[in-house]
């Protein structure tokens, strides 16, 4: 298919920036001898446009709490993100792009949370990013409901997601998108990279459903943008309409061309997941009028031009800080609460509040857990609970809680529906707010349904809390389909995941204390259905064994060098 | 909501049968002190109608290869199925219903394959049954394409599925339904029990998407039937239209009332998952004009009436056997091939065909696996391969293979798309054909995405073959999001699942031999991305270690007493 190389609606300097992004991606994949050039080439113009004209960010302060969130759910297109981060002024030098996919670089094959400034969540395993973004959108709605006051928009950020065919095929995104539509999350905008190609070949091999109609069925606002990936007039119009929509999440189905501009590989799966080859890259550069001999070339003016979006973001953040200073005067208690949350302080005397279970009785640890939540949750406004439609069994709903719904953004209890996988991915998205703590329950046996998202939490050290009840054959008559047999062992096999199985009611209380006070990685609680006898041991002299367990890592520890140091507080 | 107790379109004897089904379910749950009465009560009329007027089965021969398949994807409604099986003449005595959910009974809490005659697949973990049924539908299409000849409809059975809100919410069903629409599986009919209730409460809490529109988007033929679960005229009309549809799978969205007829609990989640209580049961029986003091009562004439469907099925099977006798004369080779498949014989000299890898070279075991498939697959017409969109990486597509598609039902390679979970559930559905052997590939890391279906295979001993390539950090530069770390250990923790990690190319060949020759449980093959050196050991004196490993079980072995003994061969 022959497509014009020129982007409609972009000035010359913008066009040059877009081409630079494409070539950095191609060059980095070529140098690494592995990676995915096709998606960055096809989506460069749209994502550049989003990034420069819509996304609110400050490269000097990548953790600004009111920044817009950018989620590359199609994480294999990581070089698109790294190119944008580098060119727009994040602390990601060109040398890091040259070290793409190398051991110890800040540019791993797929974006990893905590490794690279500006990477909001770990993506790569498909569909997860959509689930995460739904969680981020829930977090924003809740935070806005709690903290915004007349004249003080403390939280009004948006979520922008780039998703591919694979993301839309994975069940986790179906689950999360259905819930997002139900909740009317109008702060969520997905750009669907509709490029007709997957690894096996054309999408006609396996994916011919009407995707726009499916998202309409979920209750989303759906727009279809043609223009072969190059019509930024139509794309901008769609983004503006999506931002103006105040009732529904948005899907923009954006027709693009994988490997855009490659004479031999455009619109083929060859462009997806392997270097294009030196010869083809030269052909492409010639095609666009570039010097074919130059690699990793950033033409004059590109960085300066692309810095403008961040500079504008920095000015917005300055104004935000001014606003927040006044807010602190007007609402000191709310400001204090936020500061505590940022410092990972719960702001309560947890030992005082924890229930003490008297010796000589018997209670299921899931019920003890419910009693702990009843006692603590009224004092913990930044903890959001929920269950995947097993609320009466999981004992996750605390006394006095209200549901988080479209008409009640102050609710702190999430009705996830029978969607375990989405629940876990959504909780991960809530967790990366760095302010809210999510917990969610299901039967332990169904940990299997959410395992890919549990792993993402473990790899990324999201402080997500998984509540697994009915943790053994004590589950009883439901039978082996519902009995966890291997789940405890297999959860404990996940590096970084702390799995606590308290042996009685008082240990359950201590487990919750530990869980709420430790936010450096995810924690799973295994709780019984059946009653367990207990003795009183509320003042344990030694910390429980799990507090002394060494941490097992996916990769050798590296100082969280970039994004954490760059945190710039203004509140 | 007040709903008439009378069913429209049923004669008095049918009405009596429907009431008997409802009361057996209520009584069994009450006696067991646990279980799910609400769904059987709401769906009794529709499922009875389906069972008596549409389903082709012979209770004396539950494994007749051309029977229609009934899948209770909403497996918690197991008492609905057990009541139907008992009343229509399967070898499931009333005492087994009285022992519902008890240790050693044939009536476990959720239906289990291999335990109870007439149970086609294990269900309970939601959404799995829909995936299984898609696999069954694929199997039927393939078998029909291979064996049917003019005048000989060796295979022309249909799949009927009962699915609830939970099944439709789970991502695995979204994935499988999208693929079913793509493949145009018109032999698949799902009755969606639209009862407005989940465990947490009303579906308005979390599930408000337009489900009919979503299935239309998948390319399904969708009909919505009102009538409060009682209009069998409208329901029958919808089933007839679904059967007549020759292009698309069907979804019948059927409005029902959970706990139908219960004065206090109808249309509430109280009716879902717990006994109704003696008092309420008496009220309900009075409501329907029954003696409230009688339990497990089967009125005169009910069994006789319900036996008629099976008798009609038996006559159909007699005629089928006559037809098959002639077929054997006309097409002896095809008939022989089928007989071999039923006897679990591959019908080839596998040692002769297996490639021998010469010593002194290095090859990745995924590539060796590809070479084995190239060598064997042309001779194994009843093995269906596939991959979840990683064909070029998994080396799962064998030379000369064609895709199974809507316009090519003879293809033996399935393009599952980026849908690992559906792939596994679909393979399980193919495996229970007892004729076809499915294998499917993905990266080992993404075994996590399909884990609930792997577990179902292990629990049910489906002979499904999971091909996991890129089985270690040898995966390389894709990074930790794609690197299996804990997967091998966690797969080996699943009881009944055989996990083989061949150490070189020749072991890979032997692993495939073992896998194809052993069909008593699922097998996972862990294969490398990177080259491994190897020596020649094709004639191993001792069997590999995995052949000597003891089998770990979910529950103590019990003789497969029922359905297997009842197998009645006519070919």
Q: Which two tokens stand for residue B432?
A: 């229970």
pLDDT in tens, B352-379: 999 999 878 899 999 999 999 999 999 9
Computed over every residue of chain A, the mean pLDDT equals 93
CA distance A207 to chain B (A): 7
- Tell me if A101 and B479 make a contact (CB, 8 A cut-off): yes
Whole-angstrom distance, CA of residue A523 vs CA of residue A515: 7
Set of chain B residues whose Cβ sits within 8 Å of the Cβ of A123 = 481
Is the CB of B489 inside 8 Å of chain A's CB atoms?
Answer: yes
User: What does pTM read for this prediction?
Assistant: 0.95
- Tell me if B482 and A123 make a contact (CB, 8 A cut-off): no
User: Residue B69: what pLDDT?
Assistant: 98
User: Residue A563: what pLDDT?
Assistant: 30
| Phi, psi angles (nearest 5°) of residue B198 | -125, -175
Interface of A with B in 128-167 (CB under 8 A): 165-166
pLDDT in tens, A142-165: 999 999 999 999 999 999 999 999
pLDDT in tens, A433-451: 999 999 999 999 999 999 9
Q: Quick check: is A507 catalytic?
A: no
User: Residue B317: what pLDDT?
Assistant: 98
Give the pLDDT band (50/70/90) at residue A50.
very high
Task: Give the strands of the sheet with B221-225, arranged side by side.
Answer: B69-72, B159-163, B188-194, B250-255, B221-225
Q: Which two tokens stand for residue B445?
A: 């890391």
Whole-angstrom distance, CA of residue B371 vs CA of residue B174: 34
CB burial string A116-148: b at 16+ within 10 A, e below? bbbbbbbbbbbbbbbbbbbbbbbbbbbbbebbe
Residue A561 clears pLDDT 50, i.e. is over it: no
| Phi, psi angles (nearest 5°) of residue B19 | -65, -40
Mean of the pLDDT values across residues B205-224?
98
CA distance A466 to chain B (A): 17
Name which of A37, A75, A81, A389 to mutate to probe chain B: the one with the most chain B Cβ atoms within 10 A of its Cβ: A389
Mean of the pLDDT values across residues A265-280?
95
| pLDDT over 70, % of chain B | 93
Which residues on adjacent β-strands are paired with residue B441? B387, B467
Is the CB of A408 inside 8 Å of chain B's CB atoms?
Answer: no
Whole-angstrom distance, CA of residue A277 vs CA of residue A274: 9
Is the CB of B77 inside 8 Å of chain A's CB atoms?
Answer: no
Of B403, B446, B459, the CB nearest to A480: B459
CB contact at 8 A, A101 and A32: yes
Nearest residue of A to residue B217 by CA position? A210
**SS3 (DSSP) at B76:** helix
User: Residue A3: what pLDDT?
Assistant: 79
Closest CA to A137 of A124, A125, A120: A120
User: Residue A37: what pLDDT?
Assistant: 97
CA distance B441 to chain A (A): 12
Q: List, by residue number, the catalytic residues of B.
A: 420
Describe chain A by its helix, strand, coil percentages, rounded to 5. 45, 10, 45
CB contact at 8 A, A533 and A504: yes
Lowest mean pLDDT among A455-459, A534-538, B339-343, B384-388: A534-538
The catalytic position among A120, A420, A477, A517 is A420
Q: What is the ipTM of this complex?
A: 0.95
Q: Strand (E) positions, A325-423?
A: 362-364, 383-387, 413-415
Nearest residue of B to residue A183 by CA position? B206
Residue B239 clears pLDDT 60, i.e. is over it: yes
Residue A562 clears pLDDT 90, i.e. is over it: no
Is the CB of B174 inside 8 Å of chain A's CB atoms?
Answer: yes
CB burial string A63-86: b at 16+ within 10 A, e below? bbbbbbbbbbbbbbbbbbbbbbbb
Whole-angstrom distance, CA of residue B206 vs CA of residue B192: 17
| Phi, psi angles (nearest 5°) of residue A225 | -115, 120
Residue B65 clears pLDDT 90, i.e. is over it: yes
Whole-angstrom distance, CA of residue B101 vs CA of residue A31: 61
Alpha-helical regions (H) of B343-405:
350-353, 365-376, 391-394
- Determine the straight-line distance between the first and last CA of chain B, rounded to whole angstroms: 53
Residue B570 clears pLDDT 60, i.e. is over it: no
Is the CB of B185 inside 8 Å of chain A's CB atoms?
Answer: no
Residue B559 clears pLDDT 70, i.e. is over it: no
Closest CA to B22 of B185, B246, B205, B261: B261
| pLDDT over 90, % of chain B | 91
Q: Which two tokens stand for residue A2?
A: 């022959």
CB contact at 8 A, A275 and A37: yes
pLDDT in tens, B413-444: 999 999 999 999 999 999 999 999 999 999 99
What are the C-alpha distances in Å from B170 to residues B130, B201, B271? 10, 17, 22
Nearest residue of B to residue A32 by CA position? B477
Set of chain B residues whose Cβ sits within 8 Å of the Cβ of A216 = 210, 213, 217
Set of chain B residues whose Cβ sits within 8 Å of the Cβ of A109 = 477-479, 481-482
């Amino acid at each position: 298919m022959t497509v014009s190389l020129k982007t409609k609606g972009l000035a010359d300097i913008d066009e040059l920036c877009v081409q630079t992004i494409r070539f950095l991606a191609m060059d980095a994949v070529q140098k690494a001898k592995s990676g995915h050039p096709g998606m960055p080439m096809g989506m460069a113009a749209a994502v550049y446009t989003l990034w420069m004209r819509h996304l609110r960010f400050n490269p000097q302060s990548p953790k600004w709490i009111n920044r817009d969130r950018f989620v590359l759910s199609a994480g294999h297109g990581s070089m698109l993100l790294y190119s944008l981060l580098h060119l727009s002024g994040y602390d990601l030098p060109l040398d890091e792009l040259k070290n793409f996919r190398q051991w110890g670089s800040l540019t791993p094959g797929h974006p990893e949370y905590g490794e690279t400034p500006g990477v909001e969540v770990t993506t790569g395993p498909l569909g997860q990013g959509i689930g995460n973004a739904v969680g981020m959108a829930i977090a924003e709605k809740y935070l806005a409901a709690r903290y915004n006051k007349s004249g003080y928009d403390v939280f009004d950020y948006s979520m922008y997601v780039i998703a591919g065919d694979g993301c839309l095929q994975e069940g986790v995104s179906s689950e999360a998108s259905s819930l997002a539509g139900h909740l009317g999350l109008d702060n969520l905008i997905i750009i669907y990279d509709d490029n007709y190609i997957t690894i096996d070949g054309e999408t006609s091999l396996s994916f011919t459903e009407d995707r726009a109609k499916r998202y309409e069925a979920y209750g989303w606002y759906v727009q279809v943008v043609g223009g072969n990936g190059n019509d930024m007039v139509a794309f901008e119009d769609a983004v503006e309409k999506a931002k103006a929509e105040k009732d529904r999440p948005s899907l923009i189905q954006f027709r693009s061309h994988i490997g855009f501009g490659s004479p031999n590989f455009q619109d083929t799966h060859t462009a997806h997941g392997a270097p294009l080859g030196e010869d083809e890259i030269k052909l492409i550069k010639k095609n666009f009028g570039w010097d074919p001999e130059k690699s990793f070339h950033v033409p004059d003016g590109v960085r300066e031009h692309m810095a403008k979006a961040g500079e504008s973001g920095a000015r917005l953040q300055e104004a935000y800080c001014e606003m927040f200073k006044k807010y602190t005067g007007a609402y000191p208690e709310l400001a204090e609460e936020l500061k505590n949350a940022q410092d990972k302080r719960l702001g309560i005397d947890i030992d005082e509040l924890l229930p003490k279970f008297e010796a000589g009785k018997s209670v299921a640890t899931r019920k003890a857990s419910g009693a702990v939540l009843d006692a603590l949750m009224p004092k913990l406004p930044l903890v959001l609970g929920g269950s995947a439609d097993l609320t009466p069994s999981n004992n996750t709903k605390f006394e006095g809680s209200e549901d988080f719904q479209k008409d009640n953004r102050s609710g702190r209890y999430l009705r996830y529906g029978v969607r375990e996988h989405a629940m876990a991915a959504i909780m991960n998205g809530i967790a990366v707010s760095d302010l809210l703590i999510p917990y969610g329950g299901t039967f332990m046996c169904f940990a299997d349904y959410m395992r890919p998202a549990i792993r993402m939490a473990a790899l990324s050290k999201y402080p997500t809390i998984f509540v697994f009840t009915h943790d053994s054959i004590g589950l009883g008559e439901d039978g082996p389909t519902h009995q966890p047999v291997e789940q405890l062992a297999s959860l404990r096999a996940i590096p970084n995941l702390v799995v606590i199985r308290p042996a009685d009611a008082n240990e359950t209380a201590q487990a919750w204390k530990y869980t709420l006070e430790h936010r450096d990685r995810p924690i799973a609680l295994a709780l019984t259905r059946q009653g367990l006898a207990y003795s009183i041991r509320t003042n344990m002299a030694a910390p429980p064994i799990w507090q002394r367990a060494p941490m097992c890592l996916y990769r050798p520890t590296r100082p969280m060098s970039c994004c954490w140091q760059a945190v710039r507080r203004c509140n």
